Amino acid sequence: MVKEWNYENEWFEETNISRKIRDYLEMEGYEIIKFNEDKRQRGHDIVATKSGEKLIVEVKGYPSNKYVGGEKKGQKKPTNPNLQAKHWFGEALLSLLIAKSENPKCKTVIGLPKFKTYENLISKLNTVREKLGIAVILVDKEGNVNARNLWSSWLLGQEGSFSSSVRPAPPPVQRL
User: Which segment of 21-25, 75-79, 93-97, 129-133 scores lowest on mean pLDDT?
Assistant: 129-133
Q: Which helix (H) or strand (E) holds 134?
A: strand 134-139
Distances (CA, A) of 140 to 1, 46, 160: 30, 19, 25
3-state SS, residue 93: helix
DSSP state of 78: S
Share of residues in the chain with pLDDT > 70 (%): 81
Q: Which helix (H) or strand (E) holds 109?
A: strand 107-113
Q: What global pTM score does this model have?
A: 0.82
Say how far apart CA 61 and CA 17 lie, in whole Å. Answer: 7
User: Which whole number is the average pLDDT over 145-171?
Assistant: 51
Enumerate the domain spans of the chain. 7-63+80-167
Give the pLDDT of residue 167: 56
- For 47-103, how does the pLDDT look when each residue is reduced to its tens digit (9 = 90+)? 999 999 999 999 999 999 998 888 998 889 998 999 999 999 999 999 999 999 999
Looking at per-residue pLDDT, the higher value among 133 and 119 belongs to 119
- For 7-63+80-167, CATH gives 3.40.1350.10
